[in-house]
Amino acid sequence: MASTKVGSIGEYIREQRTRAKISLRQLADVSGISNPYLSQIERGLRKPSAEILAQIAKGLRISAEALYVQAGILEDRTADTDVQAAVRADLLLTERQKQVLLDIYDSFRRENDANGVPVGQPQALREDEVG
């Protein structure tokens, strides 16, 4: 099963690189990883460490957590909502910006849950929220 994971992480990295319209050489440069080593990772010949995955994630401007899950280093958490998935996939946001947005989103969800707001139901505006 480990070889499946190694292959899948390489395929996943290649897919993310292609989506970002970055060449292998460019990703190697921005990640600080040698071009041949990155090529071997993408082809499933090498299993990257968590540190290397973090460098690749930074170069791709994606969550290192996503690579860790794909590589089998972390357990997959509950499925993202559409909002969370969209924020994580946005190539124009930095990792810091993504995390701030996700933190705010999570705080709103926790607040609504604590206040008993039914899922999928719009919440009426309070008088102090109306302009």
| pLDDT by residue, tens only, the chain of 131 residues | 333 344 588 998 999 999 889 999 999 999 999 999 999 999 999 989 989 999 999 999 888 887 888 888 776 666 677 888 888 888 888 888 988 998 898 888 888 888 887 776 555 555 655 55
Q: What is the pLDDT of residue 99?
A: 87
Q: Within this chain, do residues 28 and 59 fall inside the same structural domain, yes or no? A: yes
Query: What CATH number should be reported for the domain holding residue 11?
Result: 1.10.260.40
Q: How confident is the model at residue 68, as a pLDDT?
A: 84
Residue 123 within a domain = no
Look at residue 33 in the predicted model and tell me its pLDDT.
95
Domain tally, the chain: 2
Q: Identify whether 35 is part of a domain.
A: yes
Domain that holds residue 88: 82-114
User: What is the pLDDT, as a whole number, of residue 1?
Assistant: 35
120 within some domain: no
Asked if 65 and 29 sit in the same domain, the reply is yes
- Angle, in degrees to the nearest 10, between helices 50-60 and 2-19: 20
Q: Please name the residue that has the structure tokens 């309070």.
A: 126
Considering the domain architecture, whether residues 93 and 57 belong to the same structural domain is answered as no
Candidates 60, 86, 65, 87; CA nearest to 77 is 65
Please tell me the predicted confidence (pLDDT) of residue 70: 80
Query: What's the pLDDT score for residue 5?
Result: 45
Note whether 70 and 8 are within 8 A (CB): yes
Same structural domain, 6 and 54:
yes
Six token digits for residue 78: 């509950």
Answer yes or no: do 13 and 63 share one domain. Answer: yes
Do 53 and 87 have their domain in common?
Answer: no
Residues 67 and 25 in one domain: yes
Is 119 inside any structural domain?
no
Q: How far apart are CA 9 and CA 12, in angstroms?
A: 5
The predicted structure's pLDDT at residue 90: 86
Task: Record the pTM.
Answer: 0.55
